[in-house]
Chain A
Amino acid sequence: DGGITQSPKYLFRKEGQNVTLSCEQNLNHDAMYWYRQDPGQGLRLIYYSQIVNDFQKGDIAEGYSVSREKKESFPLTVTSAQKNPTAFYLCASSSPGLGYNEQFFGPGTRLTVL
């Protein structure tokens, strides 16, 4: 089955630590996205990438970093510079049809800072 996988489902981090969230897709999609979700705020775009070895900042990129070394993979690192990282993180992917707008989502990773 084609789809998007995110791991781990739950992640706990101590203050001052960097953590990396995994996102893999086997849909052969060109574009991949990372969103942060907080209650009552909808989804906010962190980073996105439309091609391997290239990515762009979204609306809330500060304190986060990404890489896109393979088409299938788009890991997100939450650095110690992110002041309030506790949130639900969603990865998505899309293809050029409909201008990349039709996005497919993974199941999410819930990050909690202890």
Chain B
Amino acid sequence: AQSVTQPDIHITVSEGASLELRCNYSYGATPYLFWYVQSPGQGLQLLLKYFSGDTLVQGIKGFEAEFKRSQSSFNLRKPSVHWSDAAEYFCAVGAMDKLVFGAGTILRVKS
């Protein structure tokens, strides 16, 4: 069965520091992979997606993610975190015609 693991429930980083959020997936075929962000009490916004081609994908708000097939990973990165990046982040894999989500990582930014 398809699954997504986000090992970190909470992460705290200082403003201006770099960020990496981890995501591992389990899926038999070539995956479609997504990162979404959710502010408290809001819906989900798509940050970036991978479906083929270049394994390093750029997204909105200065985020990027790298697909590593050998590690079944799709980690999200940002070189310099801003206070407004504090939110919950979800990794998802496209499985047939549905999305399977990880449990999410809550990012806290300290000044």
Contact = CB atoms under 8 A, between A and B. Distances in A.
Interface string B83-111: 00000001000101111011110000000
Interface in A69-114: 88, 90, 92, 98-108, 110
Given A42-B104, A45-B98, A101 B32 contact: yes
A111 B46 CA distance: 24
A43 interface: yes
B56 interface: no
The SS class assigned to the B binding surface is strand
A64 interface: no
A108 B41 contact: yes
A50 interface: yes
A98 B103 contact: no
A4 B42 CA distance: 13
Interface string B24-63: 0000000010101000011111100101000000000000
Contact of A42 (B41, B45, B102): B102
A99 B43 contact: no
B11 interface: no
Contacts, number: 61
B9 interface: yes
Interface residues of A, number: 27
Contacts of A31: 97
Contacts of A106: 43
A90 B43 CA distance: 7
Interface of A: 4, 6, 31, 33, 40-43, 45, 48, 50, 58, 88, 90, 92, 98-108, 110
Given A90-B43, A99-B32, 13 more contacts: A4-B43, A42-B90, A42-B103, A43-B90, A43-B101, A90-B44, A98-B32, A98-B51, A101-B97, A101-B98, A102-B34, A102-B49, A105-B43
